[in-house]
Amino acid sequence: MLSDREIREHLDRGALIENHAEECIQPASYDLRVGSRKAVAILPHEHVLVSTIERVTLPDDVAGMVWLRSTLARRGVLFGGGWVDPGFRGNLTISLYNAGRDPIELEPGQRIAQLIFLRLPPTSGYAGRYQDSEGVRGPKDKERGG
């Protein structure tokens, strides 16, 4: 797992995250922020997809795990989790479900998830459908029209 020092070293070399913010670097992770230009309301029992401000650019020897910030979990938000393959480039799409009784509003730039970086031996890198994603990307079956 990369520490805050290692995360900063990668950022200084232009790796891991574009559009990063110093205040989002945590001791062992990076806080991802809502990329929408306007507030996103999640009504009770509603599912939404939210893109991150950050564009992730992982080298072939670093993978990522995405976790919901506990602040949202304490308000009843459920999160599908996520894995970011080595070599991935693009915005991340975060899946959120409001299991609570009250609407939840996410402000542009609000920190919503944590990206944990894991070092591994070099791989062949990601070359899948979501490479170079911009904004929210829906499920594969919806993109094919089915």
What's the domain range around 54? 4-120
| Residue 27 within any structural domain of the chain | yes
Burial readout 56-91 (b: 16 or more C-beta within 10 A, e: otherwise): bbbbeebbbebebbeebeeebbebeebebbbbbebb
Average pLDDT over residues 107-134: 88
Q: Enter the pTM of the model.
A: 0.85
Tell me the C-alpha distance between 136 and 67, whole Å: 18
| Residue 144 within any structural domain of the chain | no
| Residue 135 within any structural domain of the chain | no
Q: What is the pLDDT of residues 1-43, one digit of tens each?
A: 999 999 999 999 999 999 999 999 999 999 999 999 999 999 9
When divided into structural domains, the chain yields a total of 1
| Residue 49 within any structural domain of the chain | yes
The two three-digit tokens of residue 27, written as one number: 């001791």
The domain that holds 28 is classified in CATH as 2.70.40.10
| Residue 145 within any structural domain of the chain | no
Average pLDDT over residues 91-103: 96
